[in-house]
Structure 1
Amino acid sequence: RPGLSVRVEVLRAAWPQALVVPRHAVHFEKEQAVVVRKGLGGRTVVRVAGCTLVECVVESGLKEGDHVLIP
């Protein structure tokens, strides 16, 4: 309605040493997050801490330097 206002506070989690992959590289199947690693030709289950519309923070299942395929 005209004349009304709202105050919003957005809280963001911080992961200083986060491993981040593109959101389109992560597929959710049967309550599991899965990526396809380049060169290994297979699916890898990963544990995701959170996602935005463009990226996901991976807690386990990948290491720095791993390459993932984006369909």
Structure 2
Amino acid sequence: MILINELKGKIRAKGYTQEKLARELGMSPKTLCNKLSKGIFGSDEIEKMIKLLDIKNPIDIFFNE
């Protein structure tokens, strides 16, 4: 289970808007919004977000039980 609020916090902390992050991930803002609401991302998208947002402990956010 992805901790969406934690992820949104990381997005804001790094100065990204959802629109800007969507462009960096190669998707539309609406697609990113849908993925955030469902908490479902592909492994390549997760990997990009880890790098872009400089997430030190990705397991805590993306693979939380």
Q: Same fold (TM over 0.5)?
A: no
Considering fraction of residues, name the structure with more strand: 1
Considering fraction of residues, name the structure with more helix: 2
TM-score, normalised to structure 2, is 0.27
TM-score, normalised to structure 1, is 0.26
Larger radius of gyration: 1
